[in-house]
């Protein structure tokens, strides 16, 4: 907006200058000033669009990061539970069944997250590669837990 205002001020100053000389601003100069003003508006719109896109990508990245961290926490909890020993076989079987269901749930979340990242990859390849690497590590942790 500041650049556009500067161009408008310059156009006004030029008109006043020519009025002071009892003549009108040459149409060619007036046309160039108008084109510059329009170009600045277009550039400003493009900048705002990129800023919105960048904010959306940042928000998505944060959401993905939170999901990744949540799944990692779940997997680490399951892994630590699996390492616990018990002498009660019935209790161990029950816990194993529950942990198996929790692992299945984590697997579903991982698959959904991976699909979301694949969709996102079409919009932002470099960031999607980073997210895919993080999901790969989660998948490895999941496999280790199985």
pLDDT digits 0-9 by tens, 70-89:
999 999 999 888 888 778 88
Predicted local distance difference test score (pLDDT) of residue 145 = 78
- Look at residue 1 in the predicted model and tell me its pLDDT: 64
Helix (H/G/I), strand (E/B), else coil: 138 = helix
pTM (two decimals): 0.64
Length of the chain counted residue by residue: 146
- Token digits for 105? 């749930």
pLDDT at 101: 93
Cα distance between residue 143 and residue 146, in whole Å = 5
| Below-70 pLDDT ranges, the chain | 1, 25
> Which sequence spans correspond to the domains of the chain?
2-145
The two three-digit tokens of residue 17, written as one number = 């200058």
Which position has the token pair 């007036």?
30
Interatomic CA distance for residues 142 and 18, integer angstroms: 76
- Whose structure tokens read 């929790």? 102
3-state SS, one letter per residue, for 113-134: HHHHHHHHHCCCHHHHHHHHHH
- pLDDT at residue number 112: 93
């Amino acid at each position: 907006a500041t650049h556009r205002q500067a161009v408008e001020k310059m156009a006004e100053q030029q008109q006043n200058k020519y009025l002071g000389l009892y003549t009108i601003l040459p149409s060619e100069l007036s046309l160039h000033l108008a084109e510059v003003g329009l170009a600045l508006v277009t550039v400003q719109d493009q900048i705002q669009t990129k800023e919105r896109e960048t904010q959306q990508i940042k928000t998505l990245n944060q959401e993905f990061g939170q999901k990744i961290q949540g799944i990692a926490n779940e997997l680490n909890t399951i892994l630590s539970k699996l390492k616990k020993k018990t002498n009660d076989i019935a209790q161990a079987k029950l816990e194993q069944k529950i942990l198996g269901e929790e692992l299945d749930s984590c697997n579903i979340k991982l698959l959904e997250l991976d699909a979301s990242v694949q969709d996102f990859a079409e919009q932002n390849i470099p960031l999607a590669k980073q997210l895919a690497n993080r999901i790969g590590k989660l998948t490895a942790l999941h496999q280790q837990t199985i």
